[in-house]
Amino acid sequence: MSKVILHCDVNNFYASVECLYNPEIRNKPVAVCGSTENRHGIVLAKNYIAKKYGVRTGEATWEAKSKCPGLVTVSPNYKLYLKFSKEVYEICKYYTDRIESFGIDEYWMDVSESIVLFGNGLKIASEIRQKVKNELGVTVSIGVSYNKIFAKLGSDMKKPDAITVINQDNFKEKVWTLPVNNLLYVGSSTRKKLNSFAIYTIGDLANCPLKFLIKHLGKWGNTLWNFANGYDFTTVSKIDYVSTIKGIGNSLTTPRDLISNEDVKVLIYILSESIGERLRNHNLKGKTVQLSIKNTHLKSIDRQGKLNNYTYITSEIAQKAYEIFLSSWNWSENIRALGVRVTDLIVNGVYTQLSFFMDDNKREKLESIDFCVDRIRERFGHYSVCRGLILTDERLKADPAHDNIIFPVSYFRNS
């Protein structure tokens, strides 16, 4: 029996919530933008009035304002968005226990076993759409299909406040005529490459010889060809599914360019404080430290190195990251952004190889200190305790463990 998959997408989520809470801006062009002072000044979301002026998600705030001089810009309120996201999730949960998030404002739902109780996919989608509008004051677009890829395509085809059904009888008519970059994971570079082969629509991709795509795109050629033909058999996770954590990291675009080793050391410790805290909260230790560096021309490099032991000690993570930096950067360019990540994770308490060259008593004390600092910060705030090093430049202060921007989850996380 064919599956019944829904994809629910909240329309202009951040901007819709802001307009809901600020009635005076509802009839004006609105964009939710990152902090210009912290050099995060891009458009995160916009309402439909701003969209008519050509304002696009991801462009610089100054570009958006040049297109739309009367643009109202507001700062993001992630706690409020998370609250609304959970409310939408609760409405969806009434209909199925198979719900999988794709970012903060999108959900896949498998309602194949729910149609006996609630009716067909279109009826369920209609009820969800109406409940979200009536109970939360925002709108959703929903795609109804027999696989996840086409369900997402359907939610994108009609906006706002609409439902699109794509089934095995009409998908060639509805899907194959769309531009190829409408397909999930066909970005600008892949689109250009496909266009160079005279592949302009999803139908062109679907009818292209598979061997040709694999030759020029590798495994992605096979994946995209299957997507275009509707051969997507990926399941929707159950609501209690917890994916395996493969790495924990943070990155920051700095309020000013980093111009010295001392600047970098400050930011590495800020990032390592965040990563260490998150590792300890998850009771995980890691053995590989990865460092990413982006220069002022937005070109980046990635390097990594192994620790002697599995750890969640902040100072060990920071020292390794700084060691990697010193061996990787020659200061031909200043630095705009820095990222640290710890991988090769194991659960704390798993038996590991001991070393004759490590002072285990000292490491136990360092672990105890870190846990003590975590508890103090949990009660009194992140900067109730901080390293003297971080006080050398107040502009670089940040709390990446709790000030995260929420990005979409990988479609392939369950593969």
Q: What CA–CA distances, in Å, run from 338 to 207, 214, 299, 345?
A: 43, 35, 12, 21
Continuous H helices in 165-313: 171-174, 188-196, 202-206, 210-217, 219-229, 261-281
Residues 6+ apart with CB under 8 A from 94: none
Cβ neighbours, 10 Å, residue 11: 20
Instruction: Fill in the amino acid letter for 140.
Output: V
d(CA 160, CA 31): 17
Instruction: Supply the DSSP string of 112-139, one letter for each residue.
Output: TTTHHHH-SHHHHHHHHHHHHHHHHS--
Establish how many alpha carbons lie within 13 A of residue 346's alpha carbon, considering only the half-sphere containing its beta carbon: 11
Establish how many alpha carbons lie within 13 A of residue 128's alpha carbon, considering only the half-sphere containing its beta carbon: 34
Active site residue 316: no
d(CA 375, CA 198): 59
d(CA 208, CA 404): 41
8 Å CB contact between 97 and 239: yes
**Active-site position among 106, 273, 277, 316:** 106
Report the candidate in 233, 239, 226, 240 with the shortest Cα–Cα distance to residue 109: 239
Residue 231 dihedral angles phi and psi, to the nearest 5°: -95, 60
d(CA 183, CA 157): 11
Tokens describing residue 368:
């105890």
Q: What angle do helix axes 360-380 and 261-281 make, rounded to 10 degrees?
A: 80
Asked whether the CA dihedral 21, 27, 32, 36 is positive or negative, the reply is negative
Q: How far is CA 313 from the centre of its chain?
A: 26
What is residue 4's DSSP assignment?
A: -
- Residues annotated catalytic, as ranges: 106
